[in-house]
């Protein structure tokens, strides 16, 4: 009887899911309720988790709840600690969910809401969550080894080196593009700039509190910090109304970029306890709180999505970034659907905390579903805006013109209604001087979130909600920036240490200064170019980041597929093999277009040649001619970078295929490095209380 009831329940979930997906896909009306998105996501996640993930865990990976995990076997009371599964889930989610799933969907909304939404749902369920789960599983079976180590042990030294270089490249591009997003949000906005600036002394105060005043009292220090952050949001509004004070925080993009570069260097050199660790606590609390608040607000308010399902920009003429729906929607939305970066977390801190293999489905697969849900909410927040407003905020001046009247005329010519007065009123409501050409996704997401929060929790505070949302994005972008620069520094020190051992000492100051400087110079260069580029820079950097991130995902899937085949599971190796083939198709064709396309808004070389020809003919306005040589060089550099990434990827793939060939032709292989079985001694439902 109960079995039948359960069966009926799942049939109902399936029915509702199908209804919701068809409502989203087939709607051609003026607007559609965001609740359909929530319903579609919830049903798809539930079915995938209950059936697909459970099948993978039980039949493909054969997780064994009686087997001792590294956390138990290597327990050292510090980093290897068997931990309650909900706590591990929280750590894992906080580690994987950064600003990526908020920005990607916002940018991809230029194609309409449908392509991005479907990719977020399908990509997460069949790709991203599977990648995270199998990587976590394989790392758990290998004493929590990292992806690079597993690639070296199971595929070969080339795969290991490729994973290392790939990670380093992603880090550089990711930090540059995130820095650009923050700069664009703070440009000529004294309120946003002063609030973001205030997060630095607040983090330092929290760091000092935890380190010296009340050592180890993480919770009280964080609560104090969050209270101060909220005060900083309100205080920024006060500063904005002081004619004297507001000048100090009213800056051009370029000076803000230099400030971020200087800050990034300082943050990488000072000890972690002073800035990075306390900022991370604050950003984690703010992030979890805001995501929950946004979910509640969407359910209470049930906003209407105004963006059409598909726009005319699927043909590749979009203002936010150039390129057709295929492959660029799959590059633009990486985090939220499938993100290679996650495989570094799933083979890093998380397996050191996992108390039982039985929890791998919930932590690996489940946390990715939650991140995917964050991406869906970002998509909702971007598409509840009137499309005209969305494009006015996100279109760079280089595409629509720098005068408000020109921009409005251009956007109206695309068939999206919006007026100058409407944009001015919106800017006034949000406490900003202008919202035109605020590229990067953060401001439009903040406007979307502010209107959702404002409608759900009181409309009088729109400007405060807007700046709260900006602070929320900026604080964990800066955390990623700090942490990424530091990781990049460690990796560089490690690499240079092979040549000159003294460089490898992480505490030797000259080495710290040099390597931090090199990493900051790397991303600082791309940030600088992004700021001086009249097309906003995001249109170049974000696709590059997407290609790099998907490349890392493909490397992780290569490792997983190789291990599955070597374990004699060729018949089920498609669970990682199919997403791998898809990512190869997407990444390679995107890279191909970025290199060879004749469209100057897509192809790097085409853009460089076009600009060079215009410069030679003397048709560029003076200020554009001044930066043109730098832009030309940068476009060429980006092209070679793309070539490098795609070659790196194919080297790993061929290396993996060679392992498969040796397996099937029964030639000797590197043995599996799985640690032998040891029974767990932890009791059922054990928790460390």
Partner 1 sequence: MTALARLWKKIRHLGHRVRQLSGDDAYEVYVQHHAAFHQASVDAPPLLSRKEFFKYWQDSQWQGVNRCC
Indicate the residue among 178 and 192 with the shorter CB distance to partner 1: 178
Please report how close the Cβ of residue 377 comes to partner 1 at its closest, in angstroms: 17
Indicate the residue among 99 and 127 with the shorter CB distance to partner 1: 99
Please report how close the Cβ of residue 77 comes to partner 1 at its closest, in angstroms: 3
Please report how close the Cβ of residue 464 comes to partner 1 at its closest, in angstroms: 26
Contacts of 482 by beta carbon, 8 Å cutoff, 6+ apart: 264, 267, 268, 275, 276, 279
Please report how close the Cβ of residue 162 comes to partner 1 at its closest, in angstroms: 16
Please report how close the Cβ of residue 273 comes to partner 1 at its closest, in angstroms: 5
Question: How would you classify residue 685: left for phi > 0, otherwise alpha for psi between -120 and 50, otherwise beta?
Answer: left
Indicate the residue among 18 and 219 with the shorter CB distance to partner 1: 219
Outline where 157-242 has alpha helix (H): 157-186, 190-208, 218-240
Distance CA 412, CA 300 (A): 33
- Residues 688 and 83: beta-carbon distance below 8 Å: yes
Please report how close the Cβ of residue 177 comes to partner 1 at its closest, in angstroms: 9
Please report how close the Cβ of residue 87 comes to partner 1 at its closest, in angstroms: 5
Indicate the residue among 320 and 345 with the shorter CB distance to partner 1: 345
304: closest CA among 39, 33, 21, 23? 33
- Residues 170 and 340: beta-carbon distance below 8 Å: yes
CA atoms within 13 A on the CB side of 194: 22
Please report how close the Cβ of residue 683 comes to partner 1 at its closest, in angstroms: 15
Dihedral through CA 22, CA 28, CA 31, CA 32, nearest 10? -10
Contacts of 438 by beta carbon, 8 Å cutoff, 6+ apart: 184, 185, 187, 393, 394, 444
Please report how close the Cβ of residue 591 comes to partner 1 at its closest, in angstroms: 19
Helix (H) or strand (E) holding 305: strand 304-305
Indicate the residue among 79 and 252 with the shorter CB distance to partner 1: 79
Task: Give 27-32's long-range contacts (Cβ < 8 A, gap of 24+).
Answer: 27/309, 28/308, 28/309, 30/306, 31/304, 31/305, 31/306, 32/304, 32/305
- Residues 350 and 91: beta-carbon distance below 8 Å: yes
Contacts of 416 by beta carbon, 8 Å cutoff, 6+ apart: 386, 387, 388, 391
Do you find a cis peptide bond into 357, omega within 30 degrees of 0? no
Indicate the residue among 342 and 566 with the shorter CB distance to partner 1: 342
Distance CA 108, CA 482 (A): 27
Please report how close the Cβ of residue 70 comes to partner 1 at its closest, in angstroms: 15
- Residues 199 and 279: beta-carbon distance below 8 Å: yes
Q: Under the rule (CB under 8 A), what is the footprint of partner 1?
A: 75-79, 81, 83-84, 86-87, 90-91, 95-100, 146, 167, 174, 178, 210-212, 215-219, 222, 272-273, 276-277, 280-281, 334-335, 339, 341-342, 344-345, 348-349, 479-480, 483-484, 486-487, 490, 545, 549, 688-689
């Amino acid at each position: 009887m109960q079995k039948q009831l359960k069966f009926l329940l799942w049939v109902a979930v399936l029915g509702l899911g199908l209804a919701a997906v068809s409502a989203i896909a087939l709607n051609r009306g003026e607007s559609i309720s965001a609740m359909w998105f929530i319903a579609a996501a919830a049903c798809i996640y539930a079915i995938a988790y209950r059936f697909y993930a459970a099948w993978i865990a039980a039949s493909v990976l054969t997780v064994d709840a009686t087997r001792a995990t590294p956390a138990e076997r290597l327990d050292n009371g510090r980093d290897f600690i068997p931990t309650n599964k909900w706590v591990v889930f929280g750590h894992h989610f906080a580690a994987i969910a950064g600003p990526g799933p908020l920005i990607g969907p916002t940018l991809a909304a230029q194609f309409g809401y449908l392509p991005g939404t479907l990719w977020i749902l399908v990509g997460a369920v069949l790709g991203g969550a599977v990648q995270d789960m199998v990587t976590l599983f394989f790392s758990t079976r290998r004493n929590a080894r990292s992806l690079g180590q597993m690639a070296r042990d199971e595929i070969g030294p080339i795969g290991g080196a490729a994973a290392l270089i790939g990670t380093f490249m992603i880090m550089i591009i990711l930090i540059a593009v995130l820095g650009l997003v923050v700069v664009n949000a703070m440009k000529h906005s004294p309120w946003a700039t002063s609030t973001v600036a205030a997060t630095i002394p607040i983090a330092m105060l929290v760091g000092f509190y935890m380190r010296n005043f009340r050592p180890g009292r993480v919770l009280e220090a964080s609560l104090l910090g969050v209270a101060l952050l909220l005060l900083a949001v309100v205080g920024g509004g006060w500063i904005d109304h002081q004619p004297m004070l507001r000048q100090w925080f009213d800056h051009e993009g370029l000076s803000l970029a230099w400030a971020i570069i200087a800050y990034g260097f300082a943050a990488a050199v000072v000890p972690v306890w002073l800035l990075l660790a306390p900022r991370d606590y604050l950003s984690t609390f703010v992030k979890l709180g805001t995501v929950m608040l946004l979910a509640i607000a969407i359910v209470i308010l049930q906003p209407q999505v105004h963006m059409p399902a598909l726009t005319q920009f699927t043909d590749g003429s979009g203002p936010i970034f150039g390129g057709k729906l295929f492959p660029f929607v799959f590059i633009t939305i990486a985090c939220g659907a499938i993100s290679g970066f996650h495989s570094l977390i799933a083979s890093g801190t998380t397996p050191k905390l996992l108390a039982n293999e039985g929890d791998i489905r919930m932590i690996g697969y489940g946390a990715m579903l939650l991140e995917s849900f964050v991406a869906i909410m970002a998509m909702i927040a971007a598409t509840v805006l009137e499309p005209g407003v969305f494009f006015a905020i996100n279109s760079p001046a280089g595409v629509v013109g720098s005068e408000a009247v020109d921009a409005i005329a251009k956007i109206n010519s695309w068939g999206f209604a919006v007026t100058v007065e409407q944009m001015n009123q919106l800017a006034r409501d949000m406490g900003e001087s202008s919202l035109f050409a605020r590229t990067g996704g953060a401001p439009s997401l903040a406007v979307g979130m502010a209107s959702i929060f404002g409608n759900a929790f009181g409309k009088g505070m729109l400007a405060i909600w807007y700046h709260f949302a900006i602070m929320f994005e900026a604080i964990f972008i800066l955390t990623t920036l700090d942490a990424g620069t530091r990781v990049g520094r460690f990796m560089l020190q490690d690499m240079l240490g092979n040549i000159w051992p003294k460089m490898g000492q992480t505490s030797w100051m000259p080495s710290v200064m040099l390597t931090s400087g090199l990493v900051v110079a790397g991303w600082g260069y791309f940030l600088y170019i992004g700021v001086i580029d009249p097309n906003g820079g995001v249109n170049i950097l974000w696709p590059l980041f997407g290609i790099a991130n998907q490349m890392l995902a493909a490397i992780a899937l290569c490792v997983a597929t190789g291990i599955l085949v070597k374990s004699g599971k060729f018949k089920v190796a498609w669970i990682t093999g199919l997403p791998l083939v898809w990512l190869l198709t997407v990444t390679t064709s995107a890279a191909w277009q970025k290199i060879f396309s004749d469209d100057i808004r897509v192809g790097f070389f085409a853009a460089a040649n076009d600009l060079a020809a215009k410069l030679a003919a003397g048709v560029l306005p003076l200020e554009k001619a001044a930066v043109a040589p730098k832009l030309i060089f940068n476009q060429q550099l980006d092209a070679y970078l793309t070539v490098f990434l795609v070659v790196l990827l194919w080297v790993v793939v061929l290396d993996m295929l060679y392992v498969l060939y040796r397996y099937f032709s029964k030639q000797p292989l590197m043995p599996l490095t799985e640690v032998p079985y040891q029974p767990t001694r932890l009791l059922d439902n054990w928790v460390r209380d």
